[in-house]
Structure 1
Amino acid sequence: MKKILSLLLAMATTLSLAACGGSPAQDPPSGKDPADDTQQTEETSGIDAGALYAIGGGSTGGTFNAMGNLFVQFFNDSERFGQFSSTATTGGVQNVIFMENGTTDFGIIGQSVFVQAVDGTDSFAETGPDDNLVIIAPLYSAIFQQFVSKDIHSEADLKGKKLIVGGPGSGDLAISEALYAAMGMTFEDFEPLYLGSTEGAETMKDGHADGAIALTQLPFSTFVELTNADKAYLIPLEQDTIDAMCDPGDHSYPSYYPAVIPADTYKNQTEELPTFATGTYLCCRADLGEELIYEMTKYMWENIERLNTLHAAVADLTIDAVKDIEGMPIHPGALKYYQEQGVL
């Protein structure tokens, strides 16, 4: 993992040379006079309509990728905050790295990776605590799901198999390391395949992998096709594994909490399955302006009904979910809005 993280850091340094970084555009938008009263008001209020921002998502076919694209569309539609673009990444760990070096300004981050980053542990042990990573808003609960081929019936059967553990630098990879350690295994006990969601599903479909994980909403569309075709099915986690994953240990904040996969979520899954879950956040750099993030947060929640229609993962999102991040590092601009609304 250290070699992978070092490679990602090198890649991120190179990419940062071409980063957006919230830098103002060189020329005013077409039809705009630089002395225009509206533009002057925006600039003096800390919001530059000509600024460029990048949002880090995830691997193709995954929910992080969809969330990144969703917020690009959502904030661009406002025509107030600047121009947003999506940056392809391998997931949460790389999103943290890219935000830290200025390649991106915003990112979709899972709770477990967020905790590791702010504490400077696990995937970030070499780089140390990240005090420039903060939350804007919670998005959805991600449910852990272990998909396997039909010859696997329990955790013990995973040994010696070909298991998809997530792409390099992804949140899935960080979770895989913690999960299989909680099961009493290392990556030496099976053959790890470093693939993202879409590639992983195709690999299982072709019979070239015995298992794959997903930490996302229910049901996970990428695997619905596989379960419908009897190419994969779910197994429950043992209670000791769930307890180990939900124990915060030396971390400042919990990474996971117990959850269940309701019966009939997938084909041939007739019983409720115990598992664990984690939060998913829209994050940003703490050095972004307070006024900018305040107005973006306000815009998000004042238009939540429209946001709900853009993806199933956030279809039921309400501002009450903000209570789940109380006490965690929140951008001052977002915190100001939540306090005004009486949510925090």
Structure 2
Amino acid sequence: MKRFLSLVLALAMTLSLAACGGSNSATDEGKTPEQSTDSSNTSASETNSSIDPSALYAIGGGATGGTFNAMGATFTQFFNDGKVYGQFSATATTGGVQNIMFMQNGTCDFGIIGLSVLVDAVDGTNAFDGKPYEDVKVIAPLYNAYFQQFCTKDIKTEADLRGKKLVVGGPGSGDEATAKQLYTLMGMSFDDFDPQYLGSNEGIEAMKDGHADGAIAVTQLPFSSFLELTNAGKAYLMPLSQETIDKACEPGEHSIPVWFRATIPANTYKTQPEDIATIAQGSYLCCRGDLSDELVYELTKYIWENVDDLNMLHAALANLTIDDVKDCADLPIHPGALKYYQEQGVL
């Protein structure tokens, strides 16, 4: 009987130790690559003991139906196909602001972040007022995201938005943060209309059902959810006023410019016969600054050595090239990524 109890206790201790082995921290160096039971995962780790192929990493994406959500799933698939850097999973979030908050508290290791939210976090402004997070770092640029305001046909100008039900994104999303900034530039606060805190899919359904008068998104062109909406004749793409564009493109309180002037080409959406003036910003794959330089270096190298495969995984990434990194020179790039870019001569 004593022998049986001893075996049970030994088994319990073994299982307990195994459960602790899959830390989502890239700084957990307790395991060497030789301890991995999967010999196929050791190739990139044989020369680098700080990369644990059994470690777990979480990538924060965005709301269902949105591009950030798709990016989180895309990079989860892409990195897992590498089979040498760890095991990646996509974490459901409301978007960029929550992605950074999740990186702050350790829930996520990576996140998809828009430039305005990234700069807010570093500077401690807007959603991060008084609580800056300077440890968020850029790994790679992804795509340019365009501000798009879709409205019912009775809304003709920015002034007409007052008193309406407007979808501003989920709580903690990049869209919500952008809405607060842009509507402030228009001379409004959320008290001047009825904000609907909905993600992309829910917001589109609300407009289809007549429960919302407008919705915004900061995303690629065209955005499939808005294609569906305009094709159904439920909304049209409303331009920003030149005054709002001018204000948005001023440096303002940020350490670096966030928005640049952009154009949505004619016929991107139904009933849009002319070019539409708007603003745009970059979006990025980011990570916690405490992830090891070796891990981030290898992931960065994997991205660009396999960028042709990445181009085919999502339309927003179709034109991504390493030359796009040159536009990141002023951003807080992770040292591991920076090492690779300097080796390639792009920074």
Picking from 321, 334, 339, the partner of 1:336 is: 339
Match of 1:70 in 2: 74
Structure of larger gyration radius: 2
Identity %: 64
Counterparts of 2:29 and 2:339 in 1: how far apart (Å)?
28
Counterparts of 1:53 and 1:260 in 2: how far apart (Å)?
37
How far residue 266 of structure 1 moved from its aligned partner, in angstroms, is 0.3
Picking from 159, 163, 179, the partner of 1:160 is: 163
Matched, 1:213 2:243: no
Match of 1:114 in 2: 118
Match of 1:94 in 2: 98
Partner letter of residue 294 of structure 1?
Answer: Y
Residues 24, 52 of structure 1: 8 Å contact kept: no
Match of 1:230 in 2: 233
Partner letter of residue 298 of structure 1?
Answer: K
Q: TM-score, normalised to structure 1's length?
A: 0.90
Q: How does 1:140-219 map to 2 (within 5 A)?
A: 140-219=143-222
Matched, 1:315 2:298: no
Q: TM-score, normalised to structure 2's length?
A: 0.89
Partner letter of residue 93 of structure 1?
Answer: V
Residues 23, 53 of structure 1: 8 Å contact kept: no
Matched positions, count: 325
Counterparts of 2:319 and 2:47 in 1: how far apart (Å)?
35
**Would the alpha carbon gap of residues 153 and 282 (structure 1) be closer, same or farther in structure 2, given more than 3 Å must change?**
same
How far residue 84 of structure 1 moved from its aligned partner, in angstroms, is 0.3
How far does the alpha carbon of each residue in 1:158-191 deviate from its partner, in whole angstroms, 9 at most, with x for none? Answer: 1111100110000000000000000001111111
How far residue 44 of structure 1 moved from its aligned partner, in angstroms, is 4.4
How far residue 32 of structure 1 moved from its aligned partner, in angstroms, is 4.7
Moved more, 175-184 or 34-43: 34-43
Counterparts of 2:45 and 2:211 in 1: how far apart (Å)?
58
Q: Structure 2 unaligned segments of length 5 or more: list them.
A: 1-21
How far does the alpha carbon of each residue in 1:32-79 deviate from its partner, in whole angstroms, 9 at most, with x for none? Answer: 559999489548432111111000000000000000000000000001
Partner-residue secondary structure (3-state), 1:234: strand
Match of 1:13 in 2: none
**Would the alpha carbon gap of residues 303 and 39 (structure 1) be closer, same or farther in structure 2, given more than 3 Å must change?**
closer
Matched, 1:326 2:294: no
Counterparts of 1:83 and 1:171 in 2: how far apart (Å)?
27
Match of 1:6 in 2: none
Partner letter of residue 187 of structure 2?
Answer: G
Residues 144, 214 of structure 1: 8 Å contact kept: yes
RMSD value, Cα:
2.4
Counterparts of 1:78 and 1:217 in 2: how far apart (Å)?
27
Counterparts of 2:23 and 2:102 in 1: how far apart (Å)?
9
Match of 1:297 in 2: 300
Counterparts of 1:159 and 1:36 in 2: how far apart (Å)?
59
Matched, 1:277 2:277: no
Partner letter of residue 71 of structure 1?
Answer: F
Q: Structure 1 unaligned segments of length 5 or more: list them.
A: 1-17
Counterparts of 1:125 and 1:225 in 2: how far apart (Å)?
36
